[in-house]
Structure formats: C-alpha cells, structure tokens
Amino acid sequence: MDKQTAFLHGKIVAICEAIRSEKIGVIAGSRILNSLRFKLSEENDEDFMFFAGIDSETDYLPVDWERKNWSKDSLKEKDKEIAEIETFYKKSVISACENLIKRFDIKNY
C-alpha cells in the first residue's frame, strides 16, 4: 500500500472513531467521509454511500465553518433540526463506522 492510501485509510478510521466518541457530529463526519470516498475510488461502496446520503440530505444545515455566516436566531432553529437528525442516524452511522474501521484500520491488515 502506498503512503497516500495508508494516510487516507488512517483518516477514515480517525473520523469514524471521532464520530463514535462524539468528538465530531454525525453530519459533519458524514460530510468528511463522503468526500474521502472519491479519493479512494470508492464512489459506489455501500458503506460510503450511506454517508453520501446523509451528506446530501443535510447539505443545507450549518454544522461546521458555515455557522459563522448564520444569525443566532437561525442557528437556534437549525440546531434543533441538527440534533433530531443526528439522533435519528446515530446508531446506523456508528454501525457503518465500525464497518469502515474493520476494513481500513491498519491493525486489521
């Protein structure tokens, strides 16, 4: 395995572990994992497609740097929606993350 691929595998595992430990939200983590699937040429991979679906479904929600462009009142409203969506997907996302960790963790090679 080349260094770039090993780096991407490590990044996938780190993001998944951060989601599991709630250091990063379900939506923000899904957005990152969705972007990484293209770098690994895993565009149609079932585990990654799950994150692509969440990313697509929630692309209008401010969960990262874009929050600075929103008003406090709007954020208060959207934060409720974010919390509901994250709660709804949490169990499934953790399961998908566990699949990715099994596949991409260097300790499993």
Write the pLDDT tens digit of every residue in 42-90.
778 888 999 999 999 999 999 989 999 999 999 999 999 999 999 999 9
| Residue 107 clears pLDDT 80, i.e. is over it | no
Q: pLDDT at residue 29 above 70?
A: yes
Q: Cα dist. 15→1, 75, 100 in Å?
A: 20, 24, 10
Structure token digits, residue 108: 């499993």
Containing domain of residue 15, as a range? 3-108
* Domains contained in the chain, number: 1
Q: Is the overall model pTM greater than 0.85, yes or no?
A: yes
Total H helices, total E strands in the chain? 4, 0
Length of the chain: 109
**pLDDT for 67:** 92
Tell me the residue type at 26: V
